[in-house]
A = this chain, B = another copy of it.
Amino acid sequence: MSAGGGRVRIYDVAHLAGVSVATASKALNDTGRMTDETRAKVKAAATQLGFRPNAMARGLIQRRSFTIGLLTNDTYGRFTLPVMAGISEALVDQGVSVFLCGVDDDPALGKLHLDAMLDKQVDGIIASGKRVDRKLPVDLSNLPVPVVYAFTEGHEGSVTLVSDDAQGSTEAVEHLKRLGRKRIVHVTGPESFASVRERAAAYRAAVGGEGIVLHGEWSEHWGHAAVDLLWTAEGARPDAIFCGNDQIGRGVVDALRERGVGVPEDVAVVGFDNWDIVASQTRPPMTSVDMNLKAIGREAGRLVLELAEGRAVEPGIRKLPCSLVVRQSCGGSAAVTHRRGGVEATVE
């Protein structure tokens, strides 16, 4: 099933006949229960549009329910909703709906909702979360339908999509270096997060040495505290601060302004996440690394459909590129390679 070109899709037939995709599929396959009138209407629509699935597509359509289940423990939706938007974007042309179910961190709840999804005969499941180094509280390793993981830890031998934290971090630091910054400090979140360690390692490699890495909580408060620390310590002060997320970045920018330190004149600041509500409201608006969660979602949707259609997909962790979104806080221009929506992936 291809989304492109002038190819007539089952979705178009369903739309013209005014029925659901599943009903259209059953009508064309002479299966399912419906009135003769409905079946005739669907067939007329297929004829009118010139819809002719080949034998293989016909077989696939027959077995499919045109729904994908999305399980998440990210109840705030900060990471999962952009992923969901990407999944929907990838699937809507195929007439497939995505159903999201929140499982918190409760295994019983996870089992209940997973069972409900399997009962509804979803064509596949995408698991998503709030960090790449934690599993959902439910075992998805042995299901009768394909599973793809996006922004959460997958099981052994699974297909897992994450953002390339090291590449995002490197881009941020290289950008600051190109702007002539020499003393770049990294203020970030708790070391217990794999993404924090990965970003810090890439920062160290990019500055070409140990650098200075300050770990704290994911909050504006920590951004303020880190600036206090750096500006009351002896020795040369940083001329750039690369922050582990946008909330820390916002705290840093506010703290610098209140100390009379110019951003970006004296100190350039770059955040991580590109969370619009934070990055664009910072004064000045903050340059930030975007994890392209929507692209991760699109890729997850594409892959789960491939698997549902019986095609082979190479297992492993696929890292999708981040992109640097340049605003005013780093003093540079936006003439940086943007790779938003890129789906080139490195399979490890």
Residues of A whose CB lies within 8 Å of any CB of B are 11, 14-15, 19-23, 65-67, 69, 75-77, 81, 84-85, 88, 92, 95, 97-102, 108-109, 112-113, 115-120, 219-221, 247, 277, 281
Contact = CB atoms under 8 A, between A and B. Distances in A.
A143 to B, nearest CB: 13
Contacts of A277: 247, 277
A59 to B, nearest CB: 20
A97 B92 contact: no
B97 A100 contact: no
Given A15-B108, A219-B281, A115 B81 contact: no
A21 B116 contact: yes
B102 A99 contact: no
A120 B68 CA distance: 12
Nearest to A92: B109
Contacts of A14: 115
Given A81-B76, A85-B75, A67 B102 contact: no
A118 B20 CA distance: 9
A76 B116 CA distance: 25
A127 to B, nearest CB: 15
A120 B67 contact: yes
22 contacts: A19-B115, A20-B112, A21-B115, A22-B116, A23-B115, A65-B119, A67-B116, A67-B120, A69-B99, A75-B85, A76-B81, A77-B77, A88-B102, A97-B113, A97-B116, A97-B117, A98-B102, A219-B281, A221-B281, A247-B277, A247-B281, A277-B277
A130 B244 CA distance: 30
Contacts of A84: 102
Given A67-B120, A76-B77, A97-B112, 19 more contacts: A14-B115, A20-B118, A20-B119, A21-B112, A22-B115, A22-B119, A23-B115, A65-B120, A67-B116, A77-B81, A81-B81, A95-B112, A97-B116, A99-B116, A120-B120, A219-B281, A247-B277, A247-B281, A277-B277
Nearest to A278: B277
Nearest to A20: B115
A270 B85 CA distance: 34
A237 B247 CA distance: 32
Nearest to A15: B108
B85 A112 contact: no
Contacts of A220: 281
A163 to B, nearest CB: 20
A178 to B, nearest CB: 30
A227 to B, nearest CB: 14
B98 A101 contact: yes
A346 to B, nearest CB: 29
A108 B109 CA distance: 32
Contacts of A95: 112
Nearest to A281: B220
A223 to B, nearest CB: 10
